[in-house]
């Protein structure tokens, strides 16, 4: 397939807000694809080249892209920057520049243009892949020239989306759930196969591989996709409860409790001496934790396993778990040896997802817990999570208080029935979390979707932020609160640098009745606490689910806790349903 055809599809997607229409537009294009290119198309449609766990990212800095555009168009960098600031979209800026570009403004080092060059999708992907993999001395200059060479030879519409892919802001409103549905429609003619595609994707986090199997062997091939070592399984997420009574009620009077540790969730894959660690995003964090790699080699009894746990900073002299901010520093890619010395860690394991040569996703929880103790031996640095099966609220309260005394956030409640499978990629009721701050103020992992500029000493950067929760049913981010409290000057500097490249027109995946001076791609997640959840006629969180359909929910007196939630995808942020449940439980009380 020609890249121009895919660009036309992206342009049509950009113009609509309707989910079903988007699926049909994308499916109509995908059905013309073939198996050896569909994997590349799926990743490009998500604005990337590879699955997140591969770790190869394309994103170039805006300054580098503007230099490339200057070379490709013969326009000064200053002029391009002025146009970009006026339009607010580097893709549209590129499109406009190339439409105006005359034959005399070609690259000086090419002299002539390959007229009507029709690039295949695979050709464009390979050039972008080459740029992504350039490294070492002089690589920045090579990246700029290679990108400039590509942009000088493609049509304006193609350049619009190539530039957006390069800077990580495709802006067509497609995410994995919509893409899987479009793949189902394109290959089978209906949406009915989407659950099978989701199951396959959740088991290995590689949507390109799923698409390739679908196009090569149809749905029967997709059904055969199982857990694969070194392909992370998309993590299971938990719902919330706000009392021990509610926790017990959710599980029919009996459940397992585990400490909820304040650390980094990790999925560990081992085959012989090869070990990889994945965050819940999922990203490969193996190189940041060579000590954990060593700990697992010492503790593992079986050669081939996939297990899950929590990495916490640990002070062995005081036998105390340290706050999250400590272990978060271990995610730095530099000064690893120094950080190992400064911030020792311990791993608390709580689940097994693969062992004895088979997937354990469909194995009930109690059996998985038993298997974990068979394949791992406890050591000084590898422990099993604290666990207790309970059937009354008194035991819950005692265990809960023990968790708090041991520097934990609270407890996880887990289903012990025969239906207690591991729901990969889902936020189901097989697991629930009960934290201390659900009794006092609530904390929420919220996505920054907008901002307003600061005043006084905050002038020149963002001073307040519009935050949203995620509605997985409608695949949108809904507004929940503005927050300006709790940020240090350093926090605001960091957020400005992170958010400035993500600024854009209002994203179609954001549902808001509030006008924000600046909008962002929903990517950055922060933790916020608040005093109360109240009904709001302005915010869209849970809108349509309250007594008055025009009302939503809002967080009163919000404050940034100081915690950047870097290991969580935006779609893994606090959900609308969670907030609605907390509101109802507080209202009842």
What whole-number distance in Å separates Cα of residue 153 and Cα of residue 130?
17
Q: Which two tokens stand for residue 277?
A: 């660690």
Question: 121, 41 in Cβ contact below 8 A?
Answer: yes
3-state DSSP call for residue 552? strand
Q: Which two tokens stand for residue 573?
A: 């942020």
**Nearest partner of 461 among 473, 476, 451, judged by Cα:** 451
3-state DSSP call for residue 367? helix
**Cis omega (within 30 of 0) on the bond before 459?**
no
Write b or e for each residue in 209-221: b if 16 or more Cβ atoms lie within 10 A of its Cβ, otherwise e: bbbbbbbeeebee
How far the first Cα of the chain sits from its last, in Å, is 59
- The structure tokens 């993590």 sit at 235
Q: Which two tokens stand for residue 489?
A: 């000057």
Element housing 246 (H / E): helix 244-250
DSSP strand pairing (510-511 vs 410-414): unpaired
- Length in residues, the chain: 589
Q: Is the dihedral of CA 23, 541, 243, 250 positive or negative?
A: negative
Active-site residue 260, yes or no?
yes
What whole-number distance in Å separates Cα of residue 29 and Cα of residue 172?
14
Q: What is the largest CA-CA distance in the chain?
A: 81
In a 13 Å sphere around the CA of 426, the CA atoms on its Cβ side amount to: 14
What whole-number distance in Å separates Cα of residue 406 and Cα of residue 398?
12
Radius of gyration of the chain (CA): 25
What's the angle, vertex CA 242, arms to CA 236 and CA 247, rounded to 5?
65
Contacts of 509 (CB under 8 A, 6+ apart): 173, 175, 475, 476, 477, 522
Contacts of 401 (CB under 8 A, 6+ apart): none
Give one DSSP letter per residue of 310-351, joined into a string: EEEEEETTTTEEPPHHHHHGGG-SSSHHHHHHHS-EEEEEEE
**Residue 12: exposure state from Cβ atoms within 10 A (0-12, 13-18, ≥19):** middle
What whole-number distance in Å separates Cα of residue 502 and Cα of residue 482?
18
CA 559, chain centre distance (Å) = 23
Catalytic residue among 153, 187, 194, 260: 260
Residues labelled as active-site residues:
260
């Amino acid at each position: 397939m020609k890249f121009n055809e895919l660009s036309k599809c992206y342009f049509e997607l950009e113009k609509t807000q309707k989910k079903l229409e988007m699926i049909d537009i994308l499916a109509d294009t995908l059905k013309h694809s073939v198996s050896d290119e569909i994997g590349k198309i799926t990743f490009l449609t998500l604005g990337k080249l590879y699955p997140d766990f591969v770790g190869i990212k394309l994103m170039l800095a805006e300054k580098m892209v503007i230099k490339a555009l200057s070379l490709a168009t013969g326009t000064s960098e200053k002029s391009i920057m002025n146009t970009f600031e006026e339009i607010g979209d580097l893709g549209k800026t590129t499109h406009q520049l190339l439409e105006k570009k005359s034959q005399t403004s070609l690259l000086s080092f090419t002299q002539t243009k390959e007229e009507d060059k029709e690039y295949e999708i695979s050709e464009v992907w390979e050039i972008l892949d080459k740029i992504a993999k350039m490294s070492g001395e002089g690589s920045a200059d090579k990246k700029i020239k290679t990108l400039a060479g590509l942009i000088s030879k493609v049509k304006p519409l193609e350049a619009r989306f190539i530039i957006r892919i390069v800077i990580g802001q495709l802006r067509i409103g497609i995410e994995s759930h919509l893409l899987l549905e479009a793949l189902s429609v394109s290959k089978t003619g209906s949406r009915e196969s989407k659950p099978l595609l989701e199951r396959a994707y959740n088991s290995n986090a590689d949507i390109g591989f799923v698409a390739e199997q679908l196009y090569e062997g149809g749905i029967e091939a997709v059904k055969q996709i199982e857990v694969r070592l070194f392909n992370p399984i998309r993590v299971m997420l938990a719902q919330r409860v706000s009392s021990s009574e509610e926790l017990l009620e959710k599980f029919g009077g009996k459940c397992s409790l585990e400490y909820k540790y304040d650390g980094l969730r990790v999925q560990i894959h081992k085959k012989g001496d090869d070990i990889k660690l994945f965050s819940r995003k999922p990203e490969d964090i193996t190189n940041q934790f060579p000590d954990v790699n060593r700990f697992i080699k010492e503790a593992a009894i079986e050669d081939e396993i996939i297990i899950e746990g929590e990495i916490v900073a640990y002070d062995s002299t005081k036998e105390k778990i340290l706050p999250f901010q400590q272990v978060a520093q271990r995610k730095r890619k530099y000064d690893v040896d120094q950080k190992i010395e400064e911030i020792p860690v311990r791993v608390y394991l709580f689940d097994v997802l693969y062992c004895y040569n088979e997937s354990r996703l469909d194995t009930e929880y109690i059996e998985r817990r038993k298997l974990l103790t068979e394949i791992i031996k406890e050591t000084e640095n590898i422990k099993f999570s604290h666990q207790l099966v309970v059937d009354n609220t008194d035991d819950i309260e005692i265990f809960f208080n023990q968790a708090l005394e041991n520097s934990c956030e609270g407890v996880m409640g887990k289903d012990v029935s025969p239906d207690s499978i591991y729901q990969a990629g889902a936020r189901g009721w097989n697991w629930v979390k009960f934290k201390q701050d659900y009794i006092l103020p609530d904390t929420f992992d919220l996505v920054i979707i907008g901002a307003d500029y600061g005043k006084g000493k905050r002038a020149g950067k963002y001073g307040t932020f519009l935050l949203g929760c995620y509605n997985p049913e409608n695949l949108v981010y809904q507004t929940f609160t503005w927050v300006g409290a709790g940020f240090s000057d350093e926090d605001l500097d960091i957020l400005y640098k992170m958010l400035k490249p993500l600024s854009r027109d209002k994203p179609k995946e954001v549902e808001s009745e509030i006008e924000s001076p600046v909008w962002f791609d929903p990517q950055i997640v922060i933790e916020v606490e608040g005093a109360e959840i109240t009904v709001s006629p302005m915010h869209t969180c849970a809108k349509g689910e309250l007594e008055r359909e025009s009302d939503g929910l809002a967080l009163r007196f919000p404050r940034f806790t100081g915690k950047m939630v870097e290991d969580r995808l935006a779609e893994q942020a606090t959900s609308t349903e969670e907030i609605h449940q907390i509101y109802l439980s507080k209202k009842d009380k």
